[in-house]
Amino acid sequence: MVSGLQIRMDRILRKGKMLCIPMDHGISSGPIEGLESPARVISQCETKGLTSVIINKGILKTLPKPTRIGILVHYSSSTSLSMSPNRKMLSGTVEEALRLGADGVSLHINVGGKEEPEMLEQLGLTASECHKWNMPLLAMMYPRGENVKNPHDPEIVGHVARIGAELGADIVKTLYTGDIDSFAKIVKSTPVPVVIAGGPKAKTDEDVLQMTEDAMKAGAKGVTYGRNIFAHKNPDKIVDALAGIIFRKESAKEAAKRIAKN
């Protein structure tokens, strides 16, 4: 028997692995570099190994045509103009996501600040609704707040990732700790697939590719990179290179050659 959850998971993953571009930044930061036209980025990258994108519901409604890849609709909102930018508010329902034709739901949860309780409640309740409808839920689990001194501390990252799984997420996105051994322990202690965030725009392509190779060696199931893809001068080429590492087990050096090609 094939379940609705399996069908939808197979739309946002490929062979259990993920290469996703989160493009939910328009609410928090506005039309930043590379996101002037999310539809254009999707069109450039969807045949290069991309498995899915994360977009807000208004962008999903205005796409010019259906995509060839999975779509997760993002339901956490705050703005950089706010007095409380870390306070993410729920901005949609699972039923709405189904009506929109999305293949999954994405939430952003900040752990370690005064806004944490509200966001944990949102995650738990949304997970219940997702399970009711066989809808995959990706939880962006970030150590971020007054009580977090080092967001890459392996103990903190491990705790935050586990919270996402404990509250019902089907995929957990979190920060890479910076070394294979510590991240491997986090992956082993998180009973759902773990994918890594890209963070700020990296200085070089090699940095991005090496982090990806190391995370995959540690057991990650893929990546969700925003600025390091959509703000790249050739988004399609960096996606092709990342796909080489994630799906074809190329090294970072081997994958880098794909970006250099004309």
Catalytic residue of the set 24, 103, 170, 240: 24
The response to whether 26 counts as a known ligand-binding position is yes
The response to whether 199 counts as a known ligand-binding position is yes
Closest CA to 49 of 216, 228, 223, 176: 223
The response to whether 225 counts as a known ligand-binding position is no
The response to whether 232 counts as a known ligand-binding position is no
Q: Is 253 a catalytic residue?
A: no
The response to whether 143 counts as a known ligand-binding position is yes
Q: How many residues can be counted in the chain?
A: 262
The response to whether 109 counts as a known ligand-binding position is no
**d(Cα 211, Cα 101) in Å, to the nearest integer?**
33
SS in 3 state form for 173-208?
EECCCCCHHHHHHHHHCCCCCEEEECCCCCCCHHHH
Catalytic residue of the set 75, 88, 103, 142: 142
Contacts of 175 (CB under 8 A, 6+ apart): 142, 143, 151, 152, 157, 196, 197, 199
Q: Is 185 a catalytic residue?
A: no
In terms of C-beta density within 10 A (0-12 exposed, 13-18 middle, 19 or more buried), how is residue 38 classed? buried
In terms of C-beta density within 10 A (0-12 exposed, 13-18 middle, 19 or more buried), how is residue 36 classed? exposed
The response to whether 198 counts as a known ligand-binding position is yes
The response to whether 27 counts as a known ligand-binding position is yes
Q: Is 114 a catalytic residue?
A: no
**Pairing assessment for the beta strands 194-197 and 222-224 based on DSSP bridges:** parallel
Catalytic residue of the set 75, 88, 170, 173: 173
Closest CA to 195 of 169, 165, 171: 171
Which residues are part of a known binding site?
24-28, 142-144, 198-199, 226-227
Q: Which residues are part of the catalytic machinery?
A: 24, 142, 173
